[in-house]
Structure 1
Amino acid sequence: MKLQKMATQSIVTLLTMACSYVAFAQDVTLNIVDQHGQPLKNAVVELVSEGGNKSSQQLPVLIMDQVDKQFSPTLLIAQQGQQVNFPNSDNIRHHVYSFSQAKPFQLKLYSGQPESPITFENQGVVVLGCNIHDSMLGYIYVAKSSHVYQSDELGNVPLNGLTLPVKLSLWHSLQKNTLEEKQPLMLAVNAPHSLQVTLQTTEPKPRNTFGSKFKGGNDK
């Protein structure tokens, strides 16, 4: 009996040591760079190995404004089921649309506030355009995980209390990969904290819009 108890204690000790090695919590700051080693802002890092996010009823309505013929902000991160309001703060009308698989929609020519927010039910990348002003381009990244982060001007993404190893995904609007693709990553204990995104070498091609029939005197 004594030998059996000692053996059991030894197994528990070994399992504890193994778990301590496999799961290790620490604060990590990732640094996102392009293929030339330059800091990359507005990259999105999402943890894909954790549970579901908050109920959509608990999520605030986000704002994607339109200022000086630009979407503001250029990149907005939302959760599945979250709503986004699209106010038009310009003194001209805009026609906001998306052909993206995650959320195709359009808000026809309007000024001020649209009738109601748009709900983004599906995860993925939603590319926004304006049928009146082709230079307007914005992105809504709809995350499945509630742990999703955006890199700052220096390309940094602080991750506090992260339990390693962990699965991540990495995305950027100018990545060379297809726009909807998220680069899968595994961040392990003592792994390098610098991640690289290969960007397009040329500017994105002009987008297909609804054509010129709506433009009229609005493109001013």
Structure 2
Amino acid sequence: MFERGLQKITKSCCFLTMSLFFGYFSDAAALELVVEDQHGSKLANAVIELHFNAEQLAKPNLPVATMDQVHKQFLPELLVVQKGQQVDFPNSDNIRHHVYSFSQAKPFQLKLYSGQPKAPITFNNQGVVVLGCNIHDSMVGYIYVAGSKHVYKTNKQGKVTLPNNLLPIELSVWHALQTAPLENKKIITVSAKSKHTITVNTSTPAPRNTFGSKFKAGNDS
């Protein structure tokens, strides 16, 4: 009886040691980044892109992404794609929209339409593409075109988890409300630490009126 009890204790200790061992390396394998503004408020939808050499850039044959239009808003407000990826722009509203962008990374326009455009649009250049609607000026959306397949968005708590085996690594941080020009990205180098807090200075955009509310175009309801 004593020997059986000793064996059980030994096995329990062994399992506990193994759990602690693997738990330690599981925690060590994760790097948590927290992005916040200058007031300490956590920033959701901050884009973290890891910088690698050319061999580690995005791969071809990427799926077609979707930027929808619902209730006079772009959905999602921020879409992250990779260089060379195509984006579809369905209009799920029961009114027509005229989608456009003057952004250097991808100037384009989809003239007044409803339903499904004829073809998706290819985004071949890295950068930030700001979307607008020529009919509803309050509609603003963003497409972040990444050069790396290692690109992430922070959650509602401003957090993102990265694998620690990539460290040290240079990365960029971008947010739609940053006070820096929208084309700019904050570049930092992260070393082997378990948690980093990154501060991005932001400002609240002024409210925008819509063309529809001013001129009540026949296209609108």
TM-score (norm 1): 0.81
1:194 to 184, 193, 197: 197
* CA distance in 1 between partners of 2:202 and 2:46 (Å): 11
2:137 to 134, 139, 155: 134
Structure 1: which 4+ aligned runs deviate by more than 4 Å? 204-207
| 2:220 counterpart of 1:219 | yes
Cα distance change of structure 1 residues 122 and 216 upon mapping to structure 2, 3 Å threshold: same
Contact kept? 2:90, 2:117, Cα under 8 Å: yes
Q: What is the SS of the residue equivalent to 1:92? A: coil
* CA distance in 2 between partners of 1:192 and 1:52 (Å): 25
Residue 219 of structure 1 and its aligned partner are, at CA, apart by 3.2
Residue 162 of structure 1 and its aligned partner are, at CA, apart by 3.6
* CA distance in 2 between partners of 1:36 and 1:162 (Å): 31
Cα distance change of structure 1 residues 67 and 205 upon mapping to structure 2, 3 Å threshold: closer
Residue 75 of structure 1 and its aligned partner are, at CA, apart by 0.2
1:1-220 correspondence runs (5 A)? 26-50=29-53, 51-55=56-60, 58-190=61-193, 193-200=196-203, 202-204=204-206, 216-220=217-221
* CA distance in 1 between partners of 2:73 and 2:50 (Å): 30
Q: What is the SS of the residue equivalent to 1:77? A: strand
Residue 192 of structure 1 and its aligned partner are, at CA, apart by 5.1
Q: What is the SS of the residue equivalent to 2:29? A: strand
* CA distance in 1 between partners of 2:194 and 2:200 (Å): 17
Cα distance change of structure 1 residues 28 and 113 upon mapping to structure 2, 3 Å threshold: same
- 1:12-43 deviation line (CA, Å, top 9, x unaligned): xxxxxxxxxxxxx8310111111111110000
* Superposed CA RMSD: 2.0
* CA distance in 2 between partners of 1:97 and 1:159 (Å): 34
* CA distance in 1 between partners of 2:207 and 2:182 (Å): 13
The higher radius of gyration belongs to 2
More helix by share: 2
Paired amino acid for 1:138:
G
Paired amino acid for 1:53:
A
Q: Structure 2 regions of 5+ residues with no counterpart?
A: 1-27
Contact kept? 2:30, 2:194, Cα under 8 Å: no
Q: Structure 1 regions of 5+ residues with no counterpart?
A: 1-24
- 1:39-88 deviation line (CA, Å, top 9, x unaligned): 10000000012422111xx2000000000000000000000000000000
Tell me how many residue pairs correspond in the alignment. Answer: 189
TM-score (norm 2): 0.80
* CA distance in 2 between partners of 1:190 and 1:71 (Å): 37
Contact kept? 1:27, 1:158, Cα under 8 Å: yes
